[in-house]
Amino acid sequence: MIQKASSHVTYALAYLNMVPLRAEPNHRSEMVSQVLFGEYVIVLETKDDWSYVELEQDGYKAWIETIQLVPTTQNDYEKFTKSTKVKVVDDFVSVQLDDVRVLVAKGSNLPLFSKGTFVFNNKKISFSGDVIRGKQSREEIIETSLSYLNTPYLWGGKTPLGLDCSGFSQMVYHLNGYTIKRDASLQATQGELVAFLSQAQAGDLAFFDEEEQIMHVGIILENEKIIHAAKGKVRIDRLDQEGIYNDELKKYTHHLRMVRTYF
């Protein structure tokens, strides 16, 4: 039986396929992001049935229902942070954890994975799906981005069932061994600035603003195209110096602010 976290846990990890992160400690609060299976967190504060956590992956902070976490130790947490990260490639794969079966989503971590097993709650768990580890090429970034095509837009989402613009770019990079922040405005502070759009390469990130604030991000493709989560789904549109042009709407939908490369 999986032991749920208590209100005094300092280190923990997620044992469900997707857990909402909330802006405030209640179920009516805005979902600002998600925690995927196998993701480690530091519990910074507890309030009633909720924990204010910091994600190991990107330092993101928000509220999660405490019962949706499994307690772990500082030693296990640090062992994971120093290990080579192994992620799930398939959209969903079934995993058996004692008496609980979990559908693990694409991009989820498999802690200390080796030879078809990973370690969870101090037990070796068999895994038969495809995995990816280490830093990949630009070509892999593009291939991964295209695998999300037509995924529904979901504010705060990070899975093949729904994601937002920065969740999309973060998960594509995460799967390919690059750690970038959760929000577009923070992603725009990482990597190196590309002076001109003509100098950008496929796989670089393009950022877009509204009233001088970064509000949107997408992944540049070849042939003056961009793949991004907007207007209901992950889609491909035209990209030029002015911004993103939507052929269906016959207008520009986003104003280009900058391009950054992470390679």
pLDDT on residue 8: 58
Could you report the per-residue pLDDT of 19-46, keeping only the tens digit for each?
Answer: 999 999 999 999 999 999 999 999 999 9
Diameter of the chain by CA atoms? 56
Residues 6 or more apart whose CB falls under 8 angstroms from that of 28 comprise none
Token code pair at residue 84: 């080579």
Do residues 156 and 34 make contact, with C-beta atoms less than 8 angstroms apart?
yes
pLDDT on residue 122: 86
Whole-model pTM: value is 0.94
Select from 224, 215, 221, 219 the least CA-distant residue to 242: 224
Q: Which ranges of the chain have pLDDT less than 70?
A: 1-9
Q: Which residue has the tokens 């993103």?
A: 244
Q: Radius of gyration (Cα) for the chain, nearest Å?
A: 19
Q: Residue 246, CB half-sphere, CA atoms under 13 Å: how many?
A: 14
Q: Which residue has the tokens 């291939």?
A: 143
Token code pair at residue 171: 């998960």
Select from 14, 4, 5, 6 the least CA-distant residue to 102: 14
Structural domains in the chain? 11-131 (2.30.30.40), 138-261 (3.90.1720.10)
pLDDT on residue 17: 92
Helix (H, G, I), strand (E, B) or coil at 165: helix
pLDDT on residue 1: 37
Could you report the per-residue pLDDT of 52-94, keeping only the tens digit for each?
Answer: 999 999 999 999 999 999 999 999 999 999 999 999 999 999 9
